[in-house]
Amino acid sequence: MPLPALPLAFAFILAALPAHSQGAAAPPTPPSSPGEITPPSPLAVETAAYVYAAANICGFRINPEAFDGLLRQRGSTAADLRLQGPFGGRIRTRFVMLSNGMAGDRNAACATVWRELGTEGSLAANVVAEAKSP
């Protein structure tokens, strides 16, 4: 019997994301020439897409300072990983895949994201916050 898509997607995400105790990622390599843009690490792309998908599916708000701090640990910045930025295509591809996986079992996905990135997140605290009621 095949495994459900959602737990498998989270298994890949969790395998790709290092535990806090493993330390921060190395800083990105500087561009070899002025004006050249250094591509973000695959881990930074995956992290950004995961947070964007959580905001999309769960309605969480993204805390810009905490989000940028999390991406800096992975050798990039939020400015580098905008959906409309130079690497937006990579991020959008992962965003769609993660969003589709999360939508399969929204309640479990949102609970997992909250445990990882909410107020007392196991990966990083306060990256996402509950949406304000209108």
Q: What is the pLDDT of residues 31-89, one digit of tens each?
A: 555 566 788 999 999 999 999 999 999 999 999 999 999 999 999 998 889 889 888 89
Any domain includes 32: no
Any domain includes 102: yes
User: Confidence band (pLDDT; 50, 70, 90) for 95?
Assistant: very high
Alpha-carbon distance of 116 to 120, in angstroms, equals: 8
Give me the torsion for CA of 69, 72, 74, 76, rounded to 10°: 130
Any domain includes 93: yes
- pLDDT for position 27: 54
Any domain includes 27: no
Write out pLDDT tens, residues 2-33: 444 444 444 445 444 444 434 455 555 555 55
State which residues form the domain around 70: 5-15+40-129
pTM: 0.72
The total number of structural domains in the chain stands at 1
Any domain includes 114: yes
